[in-house]
Chain A
Amino acid sequence: MEDIIINENQIKQEEYIVNMGPQHPSTHGVLRLKISLKGETVEHIEPHCGYIHRGIEKMCERLTYQQIIHLTDRLDYLSAHTNNEAVCLLVENALQIEVPERVKYIRTILDELTRLASHQLWWCAFGMDLGALTTYFYGLRDRELILDIFEETTGARLLQSFNTPGGLMNDIHPNFIKKVKEFIVHFRKKLPEYDELLTGNVILRERTNDIGLLTLEEAISYGVTGPSGRASGFACDVRKHHPYSAYDKVDFKEILYTKGDCFHRYKARVEEMWESMKIIEQLIDNIPEGDYAVKMKPIIKLPEGEYYQRVEAARGEFGVYVLSTGEKYPYRVKFRSPNFSNLSAINKLGAGHKIADLVAIGGSLDLVIPDIDR
């Protein structure tokens, strides 16, 4: 105890430290934020991670490449399909396997459906964070239809594990195309309701305008990607700049805003839902015939070396790094999770604002805690 020397001058007067979380409803999971307060104004935020650390990266070192995929579901569970795809693309690129066009199209459609479902849930939760309980029911109503499509084709609603190195686990269900088309028609009618309910709402405007400003330089230096980064003007869409699967065949706009406050992060996500629907519409009628998977060896061994693959998950750039020694297990796996980088900017975003604004900032970043801790 003797070596702790407290210099009384260093203790800031009137500073009060509170914990937000780990069991706080607005942190969307077990995230603990240590907040220094002066009155009600936030002076400094220190995120503490590790409450839901499961050691997934270490577990991957004892699993084959097919088995890793089901663990990537459990990182960012709201973009499970996208995370699966990252590992599959890595294995396919490392072995230089060309997957059939059909697989690429189906993967891209499922990617965008995942993004839509994820943004819908974020919209629900963001409204609820700011006190609008109604939004939760409206968002979930439309999300349910996507989850039904997933359930029919992949067999699971959230953690699909539908990708496998070389293709897909199964072919699409015969009803898939019909249901997706019905959904797009339905959702094109319902998305304007979202704007009517929440976007124009005076309470939302007051609580998000000029809250949590992030400049372009800060977004790049913190590595804030996804809609949160694009709201600051950071053109970081992997789908656009480094196309994978069938993204090079579709025409879509990269949503860019410049201000970087909570409201623009909100707008970026709502606009992305429109773009996702555009992408699906372009692909759904043109799914080519063919196999749904390439015949792979039962044991996949990557050649010795380092591999990296990135995809655009719903919250930003998701990357997988694999160091292989030529064995059937990877030597080291590292996931670049978008939420971890997005969270790192929270001190920059939240300092100087009121503690109630921190809820809006956390909501606008769309944090998924299991992705932060892995």
Chain B
Amino acid sequence: MNAILNYLKELFGGIKTLLTGMKVTGYYFVHPKEIITQQYPENRKTLKMFDRFKGEVTMPHDENNQHKCTACGICEINCPNGSIEVISKQVEKADGKTKKELDVYIYKLSMCTFCGICIKVCPQDAITFSQGFEHAVFNKEKLIKTLNKPGSSLKEKVKEVKEVIE
């Protein structure tokens, strides 16, 4: 007799716990507005990422196609993965002096881990993170990017590099 009672007790107790759980799911079944789901590919036009979101490294250019990079190479030294390569060239100025200037700023997105050290150490704030996150491409070579635009030049009155890395 006891065994049957115990069996029934367990049976109904079990059903009760299942119903307790179903109460929660049932609540959301009749309250669909409390469910938060982003319809991602459809909401692409309205989707706004946070300002600090680490999408990919970019080099902002102003309206005169000028950037702030002095080709000091601090970002290249500090990058843990070797995803930045700064190639500089010697340019002869009007007064006869030669000066180092940025030639190509190569950024390998495929090797970047988005640690943010390059942006933190940049003494000129020449590079920032952009908010784009759709990095998928069909070809590996497309992930090697040149950040400075063709024909761009150094912005004038850039303060001199103070911190020198060994």
Chain A residues in the interface with B (C-beta under 8 A)? 63-64, 66-67, 69-71, 134, 138, 141, 144, 151-156, 159, 161, 164, 169-170, 173, 193, 196-198, 200-202, 205, 298-299
Contacts and interface: CB of A to CB of B under 8 A. Distances in A.
Given A298-B121, A298-B165, A170 B24 contact: no
B21 A197 contact: yes
Contact of B52 (A144, A155, A197): A155
Contact of B117 (A67, A144, A153): A67
B116 A161 contact: yes
Interface of B: 13-14, 17-18, 20-21, 23-25, 35-36, 49-50, 52-54, 78, 80, 113-117, 120-121, 129, 163, 165-166
Contacts of B21: 134, 196-198, 200-201
Contacts of A197: 21, 24-25
B36 A144 contact: yes
A299 B164 CA distance: 10
A152 B52 contact: yes
Contact of B53 (A71, A151, A299): A151
17 contacts: A64-B78, A67-B80, A67-B115, A138-B24, A141-B36, A151-B49, A154-B52, A155-B53, A156-B114, A161-B114, A161-B115, A169-B116, A193-B24, A196-B21, A298-B163, A299-B165, A299-B166
B52 A153 contact: yes
A132 to B, nearest CB: 8
B80 A63 contact: yes
Given A66-B78, A70-B117, A155-B116, A202 B13 contact: yes
A289 B120 CA distance: 22
B90 to A, nearest CB: 26
Given A201-B18, A298-B121, A298-B165, A156 B113 contact: no
Contact of A201 (B17, B23, B52): B17
Contacts of A69: 115
Given A134-B21, A152-B52, 20 more contacts: A64-B78, A69-B115, A70-B80, A138-B24, A144-B36, A151-B49, A155-B116, A155-B129, A156-B53, A161-B114, A164-B120, A197-B24, A197-B25, A200-B21, A201-B20, A202-B14, A205-B17, A298-B163, A299-B165, A299-B166
A144 B35 CA distance: 12
Nearest to B36: A141
B52 A170 contact: yes
Given A196-B20, A298-B165, A159 B50 contact: no
Given A71-B80, A202-B13, A196 B24 contact: yes
Closest CB pairs A-B (n = 4) = A70-B115, A202-B14, A67-B80, A155-B52
Nearest to B23: A196
A364 B13 CA distance: 24
Contacts of A134: 21, 25
A67 B165 CA distance: 15
Identify which of B14, B50, B115 gathers the most chain A CB atoms within 10 Å of its CB.
Answer: B115
Contacts of A298: 121, 163, 165
A170 B119 CA distance: 11
Nearest to A328: B166
B89 to A, nearest CB: 26
A305 B54 CA distance: 36
A327 B141 CA distance: 37
Contacts of A201: 17-18, 20-21
B120 A169 contact: yes
Contacts of A71: 80
B151 to A, nearest CB: 31
A169 B115 CA distance: 10
Nearest to B166: A299
A154 B80 CA distance: 19
A300 to B, nearest CB: 12
